Amino acid sequence: MKIIHTITELRAELAAYPSAPAFVPTMGNLHEGHLALIRQARLLIQGSGSPVVASIFVNRLQFGPHEDFDRYPRTLARDAELLDGAGCDIVFAPDEAELYPEPQGYQVQPPDAVANLLEGEFRPGFFTGVCTVVLKLFNIVQPRIAVFGKKDYQQLMVIRRMVAQLALPITIVPGDTARANDGLALSSRNGYLTDAERVEAVNLSLVLRSVQTAVSALRSAGGQTSPILVELESKATAQLRDRGWLPDYVALRRQKDLLPPTASELIGNEPLVTLAAAKIGKTRLIDNLEI
């Protein structure tokens, strides 16, 4: 496996391969969820002679002024060892001056309909930063496949739409959320948790599972005996708040566009997803479950 820090060197290295790579963009501080995406990418290009490329770059543009950009862990040496063991061929690890040699005045502004709800409501500008860096990485790496984890569910949807609307020749492949044995979604930010907070953190996934169970019961009952959408969301939010969390949202949405389902969709067969973002202590966690 090669570790490459410049765009020029990366393009020269990729030119030696017979076909375009599979790509997994990350911000580093890797865990098993990232490695599962690398292994998934490896299977997708098996036998093609294509490389698997992972990027490691902590993208300032997607952090708000009071978020954790400065303290986000930079663990390149450890990350490289993990990526090598997972089957990655090339790690692209540019510094900020390499990726942004001048202020990034040209930025990708996703439409409000996807960028200003849920995560976008609580993290203004987040998806502009995400789309800008991902498009730039796509232009540098020129992948034919890119793998993104479902844990960042809204991000996956936003990237898919960007690729479709800009007619990029890239297939976006989702990767399932990796979880600890107790059900907590793996996240680089889990490392911020104290021991007590780590024990409590599993309740984020348990609350989402309670919403999932309530929707299943609602559908089985034909919508006659179970709570309506607002009550489902309010009850789940209260469960977290009562345990000492500070919830930003617990939402039940359609998978296709993350808009609220209609009454008929809620009790019918419309694919749904329940999503949550909440702080425990000083750490903000997100998670989701498809229904």
Beta bridge partners of 53: 23, 90
What six digits make up the tokens of 229?
A: 């959408």
Q: What is the crossing angle of helices 229-242 and 195-220, to 10°?
A: 160
Torsion of CA 123, 172, 135, 6, to 10 degrees: 110
Catalytic pick among 5, 31, 34, 66: 34
Dihedral sign, Cα of residue 95, residue 20, residue 146, residue 34 = negative
Per-residue b/e over 195-222, b at no fewer than 16 CB within 10 Å? eebbebbbbbbebbebbbebbeebbeee
Radius of gyration of the CA atoms of the chain, in A: 20
CB-CB contact of 263 with 281 (8 Å): no
Residue whose entry in the numeric block shows the structure tokens 């290295």: 13
- The answer to whether 239 touches 230, Cβ cutoff 8 Å, is no
Give dist(CA 75, CA 89) in Å, integer. Answer: 18
Q: Is 5 a catalytic residue?
A: no
- 55 with 30: CB under 8 angstroms? no
- Calculate the CA dihedral of residues 55, 58, 60, 65 and round it to 10 degrees: 150
Kindly report the three-state secondary structure assignment for every residue of 70-132: CCCCCCHHHHHHHHHHHCCCEEECCCHHHHCCCCCCCCCCCCHHHHCCCHHHHCCCHHHHHHH
Q: What residues are annotated to the active site?
A: 34
